[in-house]
Structures are given as structure tokens and as C-alpha cells.
Amino acid sequence: MVLTPPETAAARLRAASPVIDALGDAWIVGGAVRDAMLGLPAGKDLDVVDPVDGVARARELHRLLGGVLTVHDRFGTATVTVDGWSVDVATARAERYPRPGALPEVSVPAPLTEDLVRRDFTVNAIALRPDGEVLAFPGALDDLLTRRLTVLHPSSFRDDPTRLYRLARYEARLGFGVDHETEGLAREAFAAGAPATAGAARIGNEVLLLLAEEPEVAIRGLELLRSLGADGLEVDRELLRRAGALLPDGLPHGPLLLAAVCGGVPDGWHVENPGPVLDAARDPAGLAAEMRAAVKPSDLHRVLRGRTAEAAALAGAHGAEPQARSWFDDIRHVKLEIRGEDLVAAGIPPGPEIGAKLEEALRKRLDEGISGRDAELAAALAHVPR
Ligand code: CTP
């Protein structure tokens, strides 16, 4: 395989994004450059480094292109969002880690070479100018060509243990190999408990990014993490694959994977919507047993009432696949045509009796196949709650 020449990569980025032509002598760095040189389609995120003043560059971009400018005063960085593009602009910086796992101390401006040296992997340490000029960490272009993930120095994972998880994400998503020495360093870092020094929230964010990848990619990345010695991840490929196959199209797989792999939301992780994760993690084997014990469709309906799709899928994978399928394909879509107000109109006083009668109509609909408003109403009215 060959790499896309830098001029061609820059030209493709220019064709994809209106931002590039407005960058002046700033550099594009990180994933956008890596992917452009691999010939992969451009995403909508750009990381830009200005040699002198990133915030001033961002203001200039905003003046030229419009969109929304957000200045992050604390970090001396800024983001411009325009035309669906999100452009993070920083001043070229040098970083020093006061202690392992801590956030780095930053000095700006620094030469671009210093800015490249502080990065995670050589393939992410390549800078490209809009005119096609390229500046790369030594060996970076060779690693990109041979599809290899290599850290820039031996203390990289100790300095920033989130990189252990980024390694897995890139390995799985890009299908890259891991450099032999880098793999050894990753094992050592896990064995030494490096992730604990970065704090749960930062590690959690990286794992969540991995889980948000395509399911196959996420599973592969999780397996790599396990094999390198990551703690707290239960990875049963077959179970994850079966559960994922049950999940209805269009639902993200992340919550299901998190429930299966971590058994819930680990302490200190920030999950925007934890409901489906917690529900799916609630004794899936027990739920599977209840689903298997359901004799009639209405039994299964009762067992899964109020439960999320994630819970049904994970329980399904724990040995209740036919039941989960029938619930997803059929049972969960069944809705009565009548409502409580129809029963009130028919003379039933508001109260718990209404619920019991509706329940009976639904049971007959599910188990006996009655259909239509009249049949439902007749079933409800004929029922005498005990
Ligand atoms: N970076 C780093 N160490 C980290 C996080 C980020 O060195 N812990 C650097 C890398 O050079 C990375 C760049 O910052 O390429 C931008 O980070 P990010 O936006 O997270 O990744 P992308 O490069 O955009 O890659 P992708 O979106 O494909 O993950």
C-alpha cells in the first residue's frame, strides 16, 4: 500500500472543507492528516495548531467563515464550528507531566516539533499545511505506511494512561498493528496500575469512545485491552455478538456493551443517559430465566414490561434468544386500539378496574389473537376483575 502524497492529501482536505483555505500558515494535525494520507474519507473534525497564537487564528477563521466561535480561556484554545465542521485550534505547545497520569503543564508558544513530540502515537504526530508542506515526527510516515502504532517515547503510557485505551481504539478501527516495544510498554503500564493515576472519569471517557465505534470494532478493541491486562472488562465475544444482533436497528450499541462488559456504569464514569445501561446490567441471566419460563405471549409481555431494548437483548443473549426475538419482532409492538377513556365512555367508573380490564383485553389480543376495537372493547367489558 502507498500513502497519499501530502499535496494530494491537502488538496482533498481543501475540497472537503472550506476551513482549509482560511488556515494561512497554521498546521492541520492529528487524525485528519492521518486519515487523509491513508486515503480515508475526511471526518468533520479538524485539529489545527497555530505556530504563534491559536486563539487569534480561531478569531480570524471565525471572521472569514462565520459560524460559532468558542474560546476556552483556561486552555488558551478555541473551537470554531462552521458548515458542520468542528475546528479545534491551539497554539503550538510543549508539555511536561508533573507526575504520572496528571494533566500536563503547558508552555506556549513552542516550536511545532515540540508540539508533535507531546502526542500519543507517531501516526498522530504528523502536521500538514494547506499548501502540502508536511512535518512529521521521525518514523511517523513509515509507521503510517506500514500501519503501525508506536508511542513516541517509553514513558508515554505512564505520562498519560488514557493512551492505552486510545491504542485499542486505533488498532481496532484502523486495523493497524501495534509496534512490538509499544505493546510491551502497554503491558507494563497495565501491570503497574497506570490507569488509576489518570482518574476514573478520563479512563471512562476513552472506553466510552471505544464503545461508540462500530460494534465489531469495539469488541476487537476490548479484546486487545483485555489481552494487554486491562482490569474491569468482561469480554465474551460470542455473548456480545449475540446480544448486538438482537438489538433493533438504529439503536447505539454502546450502552448494551457497557452493561455487558462492565456490569453497569463504573464509579466515576460520566454516562449521559445511564438508564439503559443500568437496566440491561440488572441480572440479565435472571431475566433470561424469566423469559424462558414465559408460556404465553402475555407472560413475556409482563416479564419485559418497562424494560429497555438493551435489557431484552442482553438477556436474550444469556439463553433466551427466541423469546427476545419474538418480543422484538412482535410482542413489543402490540398496542390496544382502545384506551381507558373508551371504557369510561362505556360506563366503567375511573379507577383501578379500568387498568385491569385493559390488561385483560391486551392478554386476549396477545394470546388469543382477537383484533379490532370492537373485540377489544367486548373483552374488556366482559372481564370481571377479582
Ligand atoms: N492526543 C494525544 N494524546 C491524547 C489525546 C490526544 O497525543 N491523550 C493528540 C493526538 O495527536 C491526536 C490529537 O491530539 O491525534 C487529537 O486528538 P483527538 O481529537 O482525540 O483524536 P483525533 O486525532 O481526532 O483522532 P480520532 O478522531 O480518529 O480519534
Q: What is the pLDDT of residue 316?
A: 98
* pLDDT (average), residues 124-132: 97
Look up cell 483555505; give the residue. 21
For residue 160, how far is its CA from the centre of ligand 1 (angstroms)?
A: 12
Contacts 24+ apart (CB under 8 A), 146-149: 146/177, 147/1, 147/174, 147/175, 147/176, 147/177, 148/123, 148/176, 148/177, 148/178, 148/179, 149/121, 149/122, 149/123, 149/176, 149/177, 149/178, 149/179, 149/182
Closest protein CA for atom 12 of ligand 1:
30
Q: Give the residue among 301, 285, 205, 172 at the shortest CA–CA distance from 239.
A: 285
Rounded to the nearest integer, the mean pLDDT of the chain is 97
Same domain, 225 and 251: no
pLDDT band for position 179 (cuts 50, 70, 90): very high
Same domain, 123 and 21: yes
Same domain, 49 and 73: yes
Closest protein CA for atom 27 of ligand 1:
31
Same domain, 217 and 249: no
Query: What is the number of other CB atoms lying within 10 angstroms of the CB of residue 351?
Result: 10
Residue 247 has pLDDT above 90, yes or no: yes
Domain-ending residue, one of 168, 201, 231: 231
Give the residue, out of 48, 119, 208, with the most ligand 1 atoms within 8 A of its beta carbon, to mutate for a pocket test. 119
Q: What percent of the chain has pLDDT over 90?
A: 98
Count how many domains the chain has: 4
The CATH number of residue 85's host domain is 3.30.460.10
Same domain, 121 and 15: yes
Closest protein CA for atom 24 of ligand 1:
31
Q: What is the pLDDT of residue 74?
A: 80
Domain-ending residue, one of 115, 146, 177: 146
Residues pairing with 369 in the sheet: none
Q: What is the pLDDT of residue 73?
A: 82
For residue 243, how far is its CA from the centre of ligand 1 (angstroms)?
A: 31
- What atom of ligand 1 comes closest to residue 209's alpha carbon? 29
CB-based burial label for 115 (10 Å; 0-12, 13-18, 19+): buried
Q: State pLDDT tens for residues 42-88.
A: 999 999 999 999 999 999 999 999 999 999 988 889 999 999 999 99
- Non-local CB neighbours of 245 within 8 Å, separated by 6+ positions: none
- Non-local CB neighbours of 279 within 8 Å, separated by 6+ positions: 259, 307, 308, 310, 311
In 3-state terms the chain splits into helix, strand, coil percentages (rounded to 5) of: 55, 10, 35
- What atom of ligand 1 comes closest to residue 34's alpha carbon? 23
pLDDT band for position 385 (cuts 50, 70, 90): confident
72 vs 198: CA distance, rounded Å: 22
Residues in contact with ligand 1 by the CB-under-6-Å rule are 30-31, 45, 47, 119-120, 124, 160, 162-163, 166
How does strand 177-178 pair with strand 148-149? Answer: parallel
**Number of C-alpha atoms within 13 angstroms, CB side, residue 189?**
30
Same domain, 10 and 117: yes
* pLDDT (average), residues 17-36: 97
The CATH number of residue 211's host domain is 1.10.110.30
Same domain, 10 and 135: yes
- Non-local CB neighbours of 71 within 8 Å, separated by 6+ positions: 55, 58, 77, 78
Same domain, 41 and 169: no
- Taking only Cα atoms into account, the Rg of the chain, rounded to an integer number of angstroms, comes to 27
Same domain, 210 and 264: no
Q: State pLDDT tens for residues 195-244.
A: 999 999 999 999 999 999 999 999 999 999 999 999 999 999 999 999 99
Give the residue, out of 117, 120, 169, 173, with the most ligand 1 atoms within 8 A of its beta carbon, to mutate for a pocket test. 120
Q: What is the pLDDT of residue 341?
A: 97
* pLDDT (average), residues 332-355: 96
Same domain, 12 and 108: yes
- What atom of ligand 1 comes closest to residue 160's alpha carbon? 8
Same domain, 318 and 251: yes
Q: What is the pLDDT of residue 1?
A: 81
Q: DSSP labels for 172-198?
A: HHH--EE-HHHHHHHHHHHHTTTHHHH
For 237, the 3-state DSSP assignment is helix
Q: What is the pLDDT of residue 75?
A: 80
Q: State pLDDT tens for residues 138-171.
A: 999 999 999 999 999 999 999 999 999 999 999 9
Domain-ending residue, one of 165, 198, 231: 231
For residue 36, how far is its CA from the centre of ligand 1 (angstroms)?
A: 15
* pLDDT (average), residues 299-317: 98
Structural domain range at position 91: 1-146
Residue 386 has pLDDT above 80, yes or no: no
Closest protein CA for atom 13 of ligand 1:
30
Grid cell of 22 as nine digits? 482560511
Same domain, 318 and 349: no
Exposure string of 272-290, with b = 16+ CB inside 10 Å and e = fewer, is eebebbbbbbbebeebbeb
Q: What is the pLDDT of residue 144?
A: 98
Backbone φ and ψ for 208, nearest 5 degrees, come out as -65, -35
Residue 17 has pLDDT above 80, yes or no: yes
